[in-house]
Chains A and B, each alone.
Chain A
Amino acid sequence: MEILGLVNYALYMAIFIAIYALLALGLNIQWGFAGLFNAGIAGFFAVGAYTSAILTSPAADGRIGGFDLHFTIGWIGAMVAAALVAWPIGKICLRFRSDYLAIASIGVAEIIRLVIKSEAELTNGARGISNIPRPAGDFGYMESQIAYLALVLGVLIVVYLLVERQFNAPWGRMMRAIRDNEDAARAMGKNVEFRRLEAFIFGSALMGLGGALFAHFNRSITPEAIDPMVATFLVWIMLILGGSGNNRGAILGAAVVWIIWSVSEIATDQLPHEYAVQAKYIRLFLIGLMLQLVLRFRPEGLLPEPLRGDLNGRGRNTKSGPANQ
């Protein structure tokens, strides 16, 4: 039975890693390709989760929907909804330096949290939405976990191939040009604001998809399902540690950070109750410290961004333009 428990735990971890890897890939499009600082990842995640939940769950009293649609429609809906939220924010904020986007995206996440908590006819308030169908959820427990993992991995591989293709395509080259030297890219006739908006929307759509996968995995979604600051921050540290600008790095970072995060949780669960609460915050402190250490000692991450045709290797640290002033 021990072995079975371990296998189950490994499956559970693997599904979470795949979902977080999707979020990290989404952030990689925004930060790694385009140098955009999105501090509201949890907001886009929640939009995706709730959209898919409303579209696919069976009809229920007291709230809109329960449209009982197929899960693929729910997932596409989640991506569209997250993109629609990203669009006006990007439209307003991307004319300025990325600092403004950082502040505004914190605001977006906050507003989304408020909407989810107070619009009960849409989200069922604090009770959340349950009975979300899980694809292949009718099998036994373990078979169903395996089937869902296969599905999530399939989505991840498709997304990875598409994002990697974009990275090597002229579009990716152009995005990196805009990121590293905005003025030069503008002088070459690139529409900087529009391209940044594209990257911001694509990345946000992926985060929405990650949210939908999470909701279907849990079969329910509540406002307390994820801690916004912790989720956002975990995705950031995954990307920075793994290597921003490198898609494989993003996936590796997701695996490494999630394993550290979960194992430390197992360790703190062994503590007596009065220390367990404090230990949770010590873990948060250490995650914050980890970001500082990576930024200081290995800013390029475990797998640095591949540099093509740049033999002297400079410019590795030039995110969003050269160091100014």
Chain B
Amino acid sequence: MDILELVNFYIIPGIVLGSIYALGAVGITLVFAILRYAHLAHGDLATLGAFVALACVTALGISPLLALPMAIVATAAVAVGIDKVFYEHLRNRPKIVTVMASLGVALMIRSVIQVVWGVDTQTYSRGIVRPEDYFGLRIRDREFYTVFAMLLLVGGLQLFLTRTKWGKAMRAMSDNPNLALLSGIDNKKVVMLTWLVAGGLCAAAGYFLGLNTELKSLMGWSMLLPMFAAAILGGVGRVEGAVLGGLVVGIAEELSVLWIPSEYKAAMAFVILLFMLLVRPTGLLKGKVL
């Protein structure tokens, strides 16, 4: 196998898959670091985002790319709503109770999707898209969009976190919540902002997974483990770490089929997760360990 074949069939799909994981992992890492619990409904929230985009495409007849912003806004609003209804009143209880509530929310979101959209696989647009040839590299347009949108969204988020008042407040809550609260940061606003960001990114992750493969009611749940592996690999609380982690997990999954049977592709994320917890629980970029 020559190098071009390796890049075309394993590295490029790996980068695309990794970008999708990265979008979800950034949300997970923010929730984990700022609100301090593992949000198990993240995958199903991503599925919801993907199906909202599908509803926009079929109902309004717009192109899938225009449906993305709508899905992001809608899912961000849903995420804030879920927090208000199901998580907010658990804030003074041990955090693990919220983890449990999020497992219940995952089941609820999934069953709503299954009732509304059914359990059959669907796609945004029919037909086979042939990849374009760039000096031997075969890349589809949608693969460009995926990576580009990921870089744009995460880059924008990074600017927001480092340059604006509320972004800094979010980072302060992540670094030292007691100190942040003492210095007058409004906890409620930070929580809401976190859910807006996490929900929006979640929708983008689900949308691009649906764009590059197909839409299934369980697609988000199967993405949950890789997203958590990516967040922990990069270091909990580190946005750039989540992107790095996502790309590593995505490429590792695609490359793994060279050595192990393809049924076990999904096991790679789990192996990476356990390996990181064993040797370096702070992750590659020195995140936190809860």
In the assembly, what is the distance between CA of A104 and CA of B224, in Å? 11
Residues in A whose Cβ lies below 8 Å from that of B38: 99-100, 102-103
A-contact bits for B256-285, CB 8 A (1 contact / 0 none): 000001011011011001100110010000
Residues in A whose Cβ lies below 8 Å from that of B185: none
Interface-forming stretch among A160-168, A203-211, A262-270, A288-296? A288-296
Given contacts A100-B277, A323-B95, 18 further A-B contacts (CB under 8 A): A97-B96, A98-B96, A99-B37, A102-B99, A103-B228, A104-B273, A104-B274, A114-B264, A229-B110, A281-B112, A285-B112, A288-B108, A288-B111, A292-B86, A295-B101, A299-B97, A319-B97, A325-B177
Residues in B whose Cβ lies below 8 Å from that of A229: 107, 110, 221
Is A320 in contact with chain B by the CB < 8 A criterion? yes
Is A190 in contact with chain B by the CB < 8 A criterion? no
CB <8 Å contact, B114 and A236: no
In the assembly, what is the distance between CA of A117 and CA of B111, in Å? 24
In the assembly, what is the distance between CA of A296 and CA of B105, in Å? 13
CB <8 Å contact, A117 and B263: yes
In the assembly, what is the distance between CA of A177 and CA of B267, in Å? 36
Count of chain A to chain B residue pairs whose CB atoms are closer than 8 Å in the complex: 145
Is B92 in contact with chain A by the CB < 8 A criterion? yes
In the assembly, what is the distance between CA of A282 and CA of B112, in Å? 8
CB <8 Å contact, A236 and B225: no
A57 to chain B, nearest CB (A): 24
Pick the contact of A39 from B89, B103, B110 — CB < 8 Å? Answer: B103
Grouping DSSP codes into helix (H, G, I), strand (E, B) and loop, the A interface class, with mixed when no group exceeds half, is helix
Is B1 in contact with chain A by the CB < 8 A criterion? no
In the assembly, what is the distance between CA of A57 and CA of B262, in Å? 30
Residues in A whose Cβ lies below 8 Å from that of B269: 107
Residues in A whose Cβ lies below 8 Å from that of B99: 37, 98-99, 102
Is A260 in contact with chain B by the CB < 8 A criterion? no
Known pairs A110-B225, A114-B264, A285-B112; A35 contacts B96 (CB<8 A): yes
In the assembly, what is the distance between CA of A131 and CA of B126, in Å? 46
Is A72 in contact with chain B by the CB < 8 A criterion? no
CB <8 Å contact, B270 and A110: yes
Pick the contact of A323 from B94, B108, B267, B281 — CB < 8 Å? Answer: B94
Residues in B whose Cβ lies below 8 Å from that of A306: none
CB <8 Å contact, A107 and B97: no
CB <8 Å contact, A291 and B101: yes
Residues in B whose Cβ lies below 8 Å from that of A284: 107-108, 110-111, 114
Is A96 in contact with chain B by the CB < 8 A criterion? yes
Is B164 in contact with chain A by the CB < 8 A criterion? no
CB <8 Å contact, B289 and A96: yes
CB <8 Å contact, A285 and B274: no
Pick the contact of A96 from B40, B264, B281 — CB < 8 Å? Answer: B281
In the assembly, what is the distance between CA of A277 and CA of B104, in Å? 20
B-contact bits for A85-112, CB 8 A (1 contact / 0 none): 0000100110111111011101110110
Known pairs A92-B274, A99-B38, A104-B274; A114 contacts B107 (CB<8 A): no
By a beta-carbon cutoff of 8 Å, the part of chain A in contact with chain B is: 35, 37, 39, 89, 92-93, 95-100, 102-104, 106-108, 110-111, 114, 117-118, 229, 233, 236, 240, 277-278, 281-282, 284-285, 287-289, 291-292, 295-296, 299, 317-325
In the assembly, what is the distance between CA of A281 and CA of B37, in Å? 27
CB <8 Å contact, B290 and A317: no
Residues in A whose Cβ lies below 8 Å from that of B222: 110
Known pairs A100-B277, A104-B274, A118-B264; A321 contacts B94 (CB<8 A): yes
CB <8 Å contact, B95 and A99: yes
Is B66 in contact with chain A by the CB < 8 A criterion? no
A175 to chain B, nearest CB (A): 16
A317 to chain B, nearest CB (A): 6
Q: Which residue of B lies closest to A294 (CB)?
A: B104
CB <8 Å contact, B263 and A233: no
CB <8 Å contact, B267 and A111: yes
Residues in B whose Cβ lies below 8 Å from that of A118: 261, 263-264
Of all A-B residue pairs in the complex, the 9 with the closest CB atoms, nearest first, are A288-B108, A99-B38, A107-B270, A291-B104, A288-B107, A285-B111, A284-B111, A118-B263, A281-B111
CB <8 Å contact, B100 and A323: no
Known pairs A92-B278, A98-B99, A295-B101; A103 contacts B225 (CB<8 A): yes
B290 to chain A, nearest CB (A): 5
Residues in A whose Cβ lies below 8 Å from that of B36: 324-325
Residues in A whose Cβ lies below 8 Å from that of B111: 281-282, 284-285, 288
Residues in B whose Cβ lies below 8 Å from that of A324: 36, 94-95
